[in-house]
Amino acid sequence: MTRIKTDICIIGAGSGGLSVAAGASQMGADVVLLEGHKMGGDCLNYGCVPSKALIAAAKQAHAMETGKPYGVMPVEPTVDYAAAKDHVHKVIETIAPVDSQERFEGFGINVIREYGSFISPTEVQAGDTVIEARRFVIATGSGPLVPPIPGVEDVTYYTNENIFDLRERPNHLLIIGGGPIGMEMAQAHIRLGSKVTVIEGAQAMGKDDPELAAIVLEKLKAEGIEIVEGAKAEKISQSGDQITVETPKGSFTGSHLLMAVGRKVNVDKLNLEAAGVDYERRGVKVGDDLRSSNKKIYAIGDAAGGLQFTHVAGYHAGVIIRSILFGLPSKAKTSHIPWATYTDPELAQVGLTEAEARTKHGAKLDVVRFEYEHNDRAIAEGKTTGLIKVMVVKGRPVGASIAGAMAGEMIGMWAMAIANNLKMSAIANTVLPYPTIGEINKRAASAYFSPKLFDSALVKRVVRFVQRVLP
């Protein structure tokens, strides 16, 4: 057994662990990084990157079928599903060097390709190495949750961990779960030529504003995706190459099944009891400072049991680096964290939804709205389906929800405004290039001020007075 002493031992080389490792080592800390499986974690290998690459392939196919309004005769694309998967893997390979063992060893980090397991409150064992560290970071992420639906163990099903390796196009893909994974994969597959049924136990895209989710769902249904809500999967069976899912809304039969019903945090291998780290089903129990019940052990990213996004894992890394390296107090917030679902149209959120803002702020809340159909660039592009809502309290945005083209890009301006406590006037005062979809953000801000300027008797009286006295 080899023994190592280090400043920081990071368990998991995904989005969160790699960000801590890169930052801490480049600022002078001695770092050991453990990874039991693939460098880059879920996002690079089984999550964000492959899903967005498949969505991009599907977008190309869709464009070929939908050119008529632009004077481009539609053609039915010949989709080579396996070649689309080649594209997915090429994208992963292109990005992989950024997350590679070699790059992190280049920072002076000791990268050990083994799963880590606590053997005491200050020691982790990884293979035949024991690492004693002043601080540990649990960045072990999450994996697909497979609920114990009767029959599930007897059928062939896919998860995000193997769907990107499937090379024959599903004739009819059944997807259990209408969250972001389910809906992104549903649209990618229908555009690549599969029939698709989404079986959702509650409401599809249920974590977003229902009015905006409805805009996206209507478009997805118009593309031919069958979305069955209130249909909890209760039994699954397979006969030959046909899989049937039984729900209170009826039975649905298809050729392939994708499970997209949420995530299970990776804590099984950690032996957290030995370290005195409390955890629950959602993840490691942490405070705002991301410290666990053992104050020398932090948890970040999916493992920390909150929002599960790559940019949150990266944000957590920044929060704990401040605390670990400089001993400064540092807390993670959630009120300024955006997210986006990359369907077409996209769906994005930051801060409070309208319902949350009403509950929290009551009569103090103003909600301003602006439709994509009034934006010149959206009209030119034929992307007029969409809506922005901004929730405003005392002149400052407390939330923004966007459904529409490039919503994921557009939400950035509101994320900046909320993160920096900016006023609506900061958005209204910004001059944006014409014609851009981004002008929708500015029009939403103007919609906040317009009634105050245009419907005000006082403003009218002042203008009339000034006009009389001005030379």
* Residues making contact with ligand FAD (CB under 6 A): 11-17, 34-38, 41-43, 46-48, 51, 115-116, 139-141, 160, 181, 266, 269-270, 301-303, 308-311, 313
Give the number of residues in contact with ligand NAD, rule: CB under 6 A. Answer: 28
Minimum CB–partner distance for residue 55 and ligand FAD (Å)? 9
Cβ atoms 405, 439 nearer than 8 A:
no
Cβ proximity to ligand FAD: between 163 and 368 the closer is 163
Euclidean distance between CA atoms 195 and 170, whole angstroms: 8
CA torsion, points 399, 403, 406, 407, in degrees to nearest 10? 10
Q: Return the one option of ligand NAD, ligand FAD, none that residue 16 interacts with (CB less than 5 to 8 A, by type).
A: ligand FAD
| Strand segments (E) across 346-411 | 346-351, 365-371, 387-393, 396-404
Q: Does 209 bind ligand NAD (CB under 6 A)?
A: no
| Strand segments (E) across 185-275 | 195-199, 226-228, 235-239, 242-247, 250-254, 256-259, 263-265
Q: Return the one option of ligand NAD, ligand FAD, none that residue 311 interacts with (CB less than 5 to 8 A, by type).
A: ligand FAD
Cβ proximity to ligand NAD: between 62 and 264 the closer is 264
Taking contact as CB under 6 A, which single stretch among the options 71-79, 84-92, 336-344, 411-419 is the one that binds ligand NAD?
336-344
Largest CA distance in the chain: 91
Query: DSSP readout, 11-53?
Result: E--SHHHHHHHHHHHHTT--EEEE-SS-TTHHHHHTSHHHHHH
Minimum CB–partner distance for residue 74 and ligand FAD (Å)? 29
Q: Does 233 bind ligand NAD (CB under 6 A)?
A: yes
Cβ atoms 441, 388 nearer than 8 A:
yes
Euclidean distance between CA atoms 439 and 409, whole angstroms: 12
Minimum CB–partner distance for residue 460 and ligand NAD (Å)? 47
Q: Does 202 bind ligand NAD (CB under 6 A)?
A: yes
Give the gyration radius of the chain's Cα atoms: 25
Taking contact as CB under 6 A, which single stretch among the options 167-175, 259-267, 277-285, 423-431 is the one that binds ligand NAD?
259-267
Q: Does 179 bind ligand NAD (CB under 6 A)?
A: yes
List beta partners, residue 347: 341, 403
Q: Does 402 bind ligand NAD (CB under 6 A)?
A: no
Cβ atoms 234, 246 nearer than 8 A:
yes
Q: Which of 262, 276, 318, 435 binds ligand NAD (CB under 6 A)?
A: 262
Q: Return the one option of ligand FAD, ligand NAD, none that residue 338 interacts with (CB less than 5 to 8 A, by type).
A: none
Sign of CA dihedral 109, 111, 115, 117: negative
Which residues are at the interface with ligand NAD (CB under 6 A)? 147, 149, 176-182, 184, 199-202, 206-207, 232-233, 260-263, 308-309, 339-342
